[in-house]
Structure 1
Amino acid sequence: MCRRSSKRNLEINEIIKLYEDGESTTEIATIANVSSRYIRMLLKQHHVEMRPRGSWKRKYTLNEDYFKTWSNNMAYILGFIIADGTIARDVQFVSIAQKEKYILEAIREELGSNQPIVKNKDTGVYMLTINSKVMKNDLIEIHGVKPNKSSTIEFPHVPKEYMSHFIRGYFDGDGYINYKQYTVTFVSGSKSFLEALINVLKEKEFTPQFQQQGANYRVHIRGRKSVKLFSDWIYKDKNEGLYLIRKYHTFKEEKLELHQLADRKHVNTQEAIMRRKLNFLTIYALTHSMEYTCACIEIKPASINRWMNNAKLFKRNFEFIKNDIKKSE
């Protein structure tokens, strides 16, 4: 009996099925987070008929040239892969991970594939892995999606007529909507990618805000009207394309028409935030009361922690005032 590997993230029956569907032991090992030697040992101990080493056969269909031609859905899937996909460095496959299985099933159908979707037993996340040297090379050479892309990915050339679909795909993979705060947020480890995204959003007359949090970067669109405009833009042709139902329904919480909406004036501009920080420090230095100061400028105490984490000058001034208050008490 084969000993269970503590780091293996696929069940034995899933491994056997992948091999019987034509996957190589090297590719299965990469997906399962173990060595190919371990995979071969496991298959033999479960009496699976082994193919000669180096042989490979495809038992599933695939439109390998899919990423050579632009379409609404191609733009969406490209954005989705940039956000939630993996381009393998040493083997010829592209994988996409997602908690909602139905979106992977829709992507699989669009790619013309019947490749099995597997579930990671530890995380509960589903994974669609497409084996294709042609598709991998097209993503790398045509669209610039390289292995280990998280911090180095550049914004690809996307024709304007497909931009909203690309943005929707990326947003479904690495974005979120906070409806109560009327905020749309994009996340990336690549500063360059988000700087290019900001330019795209500005062309659509949004006012995006850039933020760095540790090794990650964020771009925000704020305001009730702006969030509605963003929703209308990315879901314009939703009936003909792919999208995550969960995020779409969050946007649909807005019950008013566009002409009834307005963004709060100047609340979230960089200049306004700087003024609020200065007002906070001034009032706090005079009153010595955190609660009173927050009430005066209409912010929550959590905002102070966020400012402390993201603004070194504010943190230094706040701590100076706080220490001065302690000395005077």
Structure 2
Amino acid sequence: MTRKKKCTLEITEIIQMYEEGEKTVDIARRANVSTRYINSVLQQNKVERTPHGSWKRKYRVNEDYFKTWSNNMAYLLGFFAADGYISSRNHTVCFSQKDPDILEQIREELQSNHPLVMNNTGVYTLIIGSKVMKYDLMNLHGMTSDKSNALQMPEIPEKYLSHFVRGYFDGDGNVTYEGYTVTFVGNSLAFLLSMKSVFDLRGFKTKLKLVRNHYRLFIVSRLSLKMFADWIYREKEMYLERKYLEFEKESLEATELIDKISTAKTISEKKKNFIELYSHCIDENKACKGIGIDLNTLDIWLRNDLEFEDQFNQVKKVVRDFT
């Protein structure tokens, strides 16, 4: 008795592959079944059949898109590194996002008319059938079907690096401007370490942490967020507007922030010097003159800086207890 062969493809995959222009004989070989079985699946699901000898695609796409660098190509490559998927069983390339607007931009950029599909969790997916595009992503840019764990930083020309990072940020990044934090989440330590090096070289303040079973890369501080935004949105073309608007909450330019930080450091140093001088002379007037401020400035410091007020009162208490 002949054992029945087990089909290695889902019915939806069989239909999609046929609609993308693959021959039934090739689908059958990949699915480990007969051509007759494939024809039966297509018939049962009322799939419109392609005339014999005609292999015109139902959907179009610029298959050679990832062969040539451009600002938008770098953005799409970064977005794919974050939220893309290569099937190991057929020639499909997928982009996923909760925001359909950015997927529509990607579809237009790829000169595609493939439909967007929404799953039951509200996530949209753009599924593109293209053997050429799949192998370009794998062979030219190092993407794999196990991308989440094995992702490596592609070799990106310097002029396109900010666009790649913007794409990755839109796919797998988050910004909380009130907390002055940008966060990237991923399972590939090698990739996030490469990203951290890119950020460190540009003077961004960063942290990398292991949180349960994944890694988090942070950009922290108000100045670093401003510098990061100025870098990734310079000459921007494609981007997620809701993330861009978070950075627009910053009202100061980077140079103004640097001046503000410098001033804050100077004031902090003056407060430290005041406490040290006051602990020796126990005279507010002398201590103020010694660091070049007046009593009115001292009063403002005491009202607005609780830590400074505590240090000041501790010195006074020691003096009272001693006398």
| Normalised TM-score (structure 1) | 0.66
Is 1:242 paired with 2:238?
Answer: yes
Distance across 2 between alignment mates of 1:136 and 1:41 = 28
Q: Per-residue deviation at 1:137?
A: 0.5
Distance across 2 between alignment mates of 1:74 and 1:41 = 40
Q: Per-residue deviation at 1:203?
A: 1.4
1:260 counterpart residue number? 256
Q: Per-residue deviation at 1:184?
A: 0.7
Match of residue 161, structure 1, among 155, 159, 167: 159
Identity fraction in percent: 51
CA contact (8 A) 2:61 2:111 kept: yes
Q: Which amino acid aligns with 2:211?
A: Q
2:80 counterpart residue number? 81
Q: Which structure 2 residues correspond to residues 1-329 of structure 1 after superposition, within 5 A?
A: 44-45=43-44, 47-50=46-49, 57-120=56-119, 122-238=120-236, 241-262=237-258
Q: Which amino acid aligns with 1:250?
A: E
CA contact (8 A) 2:79 2:171 kept: yes
* SS of equivalent residue, structure 1 residue 124: coil
Cα root mean square deviation, aligned:
3.5
Change (3 A) 1:163 1:143: same
Question: What whole-Å deviation, never above 9, does each CA across 1:215-236 have from its counterpart, x for those lacking one?
Answer: 2111111111110110011001
Question: What whole-Å deviation, never above 9, does each CA across 1:72-91 have from its counterpart, x for those lacking one?
Answer: 00000000001000011110
Q: Per-residue deviation at 1:47?
A: 4.0
Q: Which runs of 5 or more residues in structure 1 are unaligned?
A: 1-7, 29-36, 266-295, 298-329
Change (3 A) 1:151 1:16: closer
Q: Which amino acid aligns with 1:244?
A: L
Distance across 1 between alignment mates of 2:85 and 2:104 = 17
Distance across 2 between alignment mates of 1:40 and 1:216 = 44
Q: Per-residue deviation at 1:199?
A: 0.9
Q: Please identify the structure whose Cα radius of gyration is greater.
A: 2
Change (3 A) 1:107 1:47: closer
Q: Per-residue deviation at 1:163?
A: 0.4
CA contact (8 A) 2:115 2:126 kept: yes
CA contact (8 A) 1:223 1:264 kept: no
Q: Which amino acid aligns with 2:128?
A: I
CA contact (8 A) 2:67 2:136 kept: yes
How many residues align? The count is 246
Higher helix share: 2
* SS of equivalent residue, structure 2 residue 150: coil
Change (3 A) 1:60 1:207: same
Q: Per-residue deviation at 1:18?
A: 9.1
Q: Which amino acid aligns with 2:238?
A: L
Q: Per-residue deviation at 1:259?
A: 2.8
CA contact (8 A) 2:19 2:57 kept: no
Q: Which amino acid aligns with 2:116?
A: I
